[in-house]
Amino acid sequence: MSDLHTVNKSPFEKPSLDTCLRLSKPGSSILLYEDAVYAALTGTSVTDKVAGILGERKVYVLEPDFKARGLKPERLIDGVEMVDYAGFVDLVDACDKVQAWL
């Protein structure tokens, strides 16, 4: 199994997501949480960047953080999967290791 990359910074404010996308291997998984959940929205200046890597990486978004920010599930990019805390744990368990892009 491959690595799980976690990103928690807003893609509009910090380059964490860009660096994660640049340095993560195809086949790996990316979990967006805290302020990184904004990266999972359609209709933004970073939508294409995230949608563009979905073929070669799986992208997950943490539902409690998504809901806390008042974001609508209809605006979730097609192919991005919503997970809860238990799902987060399952991902950590299923992957070789966790690489955090703080």
> Is 71 a residue that touches other proteins (CB under 8 A)?
yes
Q: Can you say how many angstroms the Cα of residue 97 is from the centroid of all Cα atoms in its chain? A: 16
Residue type, 18: D
Q: Which residue has the tokens 């070789």?
A: 96
Interface pick for other proteins out of 2, 3, 18, 34 (rule CB under 8 A): 34
Q: Is 43 in the site for other proteins (CB under 8 A)?
A: yes
Which position has the token pair 């970073």? 46
Q: Does 63 bind other proteins (CB under 8 A)?
A: yes
Q: Provide the binding-site residues for other proteins, judged by CB under 8 A.
A: 8-10, 12-13, 34-35, 38, 41-45, 47, 63-65, 67-72, 75, 84
